Amino acid sequence: MTSAQIIVLATPVFLALIAFEFAVGLARRRNTYRLNDALNSIGLGVMSQVVGVFTRLFTVGLYTLAYEHVALWPLSASSPWVWLGALIGYDFCYYWLHRGGHRVAALWAAHVVHHQSEDYNLSTALRQTSSGFLLGWIFYLPLAVLGVPPLVFGIVALIDLLYQFWVHTQQIGRLGWFDRWFCAPSNHRVHHAVNDRYLDKNYGGILLVWDRLFGTYAPEDAREPCVYGTRAPLRSWNPLWANLQVYRDLALDSWRTQAWPDKLRVWLKPPGWRPADVAAKWPRPVFDLKRFQRSGRYDPRISEQAAWVAGTLFAVVLLLTTIFLWNAHRLAPWLMAGLALLIVGLLWAVGLVTEPAADVSSDMGSDMRGDTRRDGRRGVRGAEGAARDTAPAAAYASVADAPDSGHERVRPR
Ligand SMILES: [Zn+2]
Ligand SMILES: [Zn+2]
């Protein structure tokens, strides 16, 4: 069975748990879902899986190549200790990749997709990047050197990813000792928060021990509710733009600066760092949590008809994706490419339908101030409106306004 097929089998479970979390939220009058945001997050997960079918050949190929040539002592896939060691080793490498993903701009450009949602629920877990294949593989090469067979590597990678699904919820509170040892809802909420005290914390995938060992652990504090999203809000439902947003900003700063070393530094420095000449000429406001909260979440209103169109298109996407992922390994390349393009095109159309023309300008990084005053308004759909009306305000007040940084810690996350 291919890993794409395992994802297909897991999808109904994911969707059922999302429906369950939504029902629990309604029952508790603490709904955390908006339809437009959930469609966008799940759509980005679909896109990352579809793109992953093509890029997996690249990442698994490179891993296998490294294993065949530099493994110090090939380990046996029949030993349970090898599996356990590989899982812990993978989780360790994941910690450093994830930490790099928040501290190195070029890596953040890929990882940002997971953080763009201004809500926090199980659909956020599915929100994954489509460009992680570019640099992510480098972080796992030590496992190839240690002799972890490609098959074991592929499966522990999947376990690490699937584990992280359940932690993306606000319906589960703190879990005592568990929160200090394992990635869990409470400590992962902290990871997704833009509040100063929570920024760049809790990177662990399964084990949170790495954060405590390497000084990046922060527990959730009830007095400081998490505010979700990124400090440079996406403010768009376009899945292509979601994947390109930070690359475009970095490329622009790198192009504009007159200082040659800075052209490279832009990509290696922490996100939000900008060359002095570029920051002086094209300044960006410093991040301010209060203003950020006042601006409200991105939530363009659309007609009920448009919502139905989006929902129908999305159902077609799910159907096509199931067919694609299940059969990808035996489809002709032209058919694979055609289906993939169709799926991505339909996802883009879903974004377009849920994002009125007036809001599309935000895509190109223009000042969205005029469009940000949406807090307190009911969305067109029940779930959307309910979220805002019943949630604790602080938990939902969210990103907006301030498009990223100046120089210091005013970066997106
Ligand atoms: Zn992260
Ligand atoms: Zn997460």
For 146-161, the pLDDT digits (tens) are: 999 999 999 999 999 9
What are the tens digits of pLDDT across the range 232-274?
Answer: 999 999 999 999 999 999 999 999 999 999 999 999 999 999 9
What are the tens digits of pLDDT across the range 186-211?
Answer: 999 999 999 999 999 999 999 999 99
CA distance 308 to 170: 28
Q: Classify residue 286: in a domain, yes or no.
A: yes
CB 152 within 8 A of CB 83: yes
Which pLDDT score, from 0 to 100, does residue 405 have?
A: 33
The closest ligand to the CA of 98 turns out to be 1
- How far away, in angstroms, is 119 Cα from ligand 1 center? 15
Give the burial class of 38: count Cβ atoms within 10 A of its Cβ; 0-12 exposed, 13-18 middle, 19 or more buried. Answer: buried
- How far away, in angstroms, is 334 Cα from ligand 1 center? 35
When mean pLDDT is compared across 168-172, 302-306, 324-328, 394-398, the lowest value belongs to: 394-398
- How far away, in angstroms, is 280 Cα from ligand 2 center? 34
CA distance 393 to 106: 34
The angle subtended at Cα 305 by Cα 303 and Cα 307, nearest 5°, is 75
- How far away, in angstroms, is 2 Cα from ligand 2 center? 24
Which pLDDT score, from 0 to 100, does residue 286 have?
A: 87
- How far away, in angstroms, is 109 Cα from ligand 2 center? 15
Non-local (6+) Cβ contacts of 367 within 8 A are 403
- How far away, in angstroms, is 42 Cα from ligand 2 center? 13
Q: Classify residue 300: in a domain, yes or no.
A: yes
For helices 105-115 and 80-103, the axis angle rounded to 10 degrees is 100
Q: Classify residue 408: in a domain, yes or no.
A: no
- How far away, in angstroms, is 337 Cα from ligand 2 center? 29
CA distance 35 to 383: 6
Residue 56 pLDDT grade (very low, low, confident, very high; cuts 50, 70, 90): confident
- How far away, in angstroms, is 27 Cα from ligand 1 center? 30
- How far away, in angstroms, is 191 Cα from ligand 1 center? 6
Q: Classify residue 409: in a domain, yes or no.
A: no
- How far away, in angstroms, is 355 Cα from ligand 2 center? 24
Q: Classify residue 406: in a domain, yes or no.
A: no
- How far away, in angstroms, is 76 Cα from ligand 1 center? 32
- How far away, in angstroms, is 121 Cα from ligand 2 center? 10
- pTM value is 0.85
Amino acid identity at 52: G
Residue 136 pLDDT grade (very low, low, confident, very high; cuts 50, 70, 90): very high
Q: Classify residue 91: in a domain, yes or no.
A: yes
Give the rounded distance of the alpha carbon of 240 from its chain centre: 13
What are the tens digits of pLDDT across the range 332-341?
Answer: 889 999 999 9
The closest ligand to the CA of 161 turns out to be 2
The closest ligand to the CA of 183 turns out to be 2
CA distance 346 to 126: 18
The closest ligand to the CA of 117 turns out to be 2
Q: Classify residue 413: in a domain, yes or no.
A: no
- How far away, in angstroms, is 136 Cα from ligand 1 center? 13
Q: Classify residue 412: in a domain, yes or no.
A: no
Among residues 90, 206, 207, the alpha carbon closest in space to that of 144 is found at: 90
What are the tens digits of pLDDT across the range 65-78?
Answer: 999 999 998 899 99
Q: Which domain holds residue 264?
A: 3-396
Residue 296 pLDDT grade (very low, low, confident, very high; cuts 50, 70, 90): confident
- How far away, in angstroms, is 16 Cα from ligand 1 center? 25
Number of domains into which the chain is organized: 1
Please give the structure tokens belonging to residue 81: 């200790």
Among residues 394, 410, 411, the alpha carbon closest in space to that of 293 is found at: 394
- How far away, in angstroms, is 129 Cα from ligand 1 center? 11
- How far away, in angstroms, is 125 Cα from ligand 2 center? 6
The closest ligand to the CA of 271 turns out to be 1
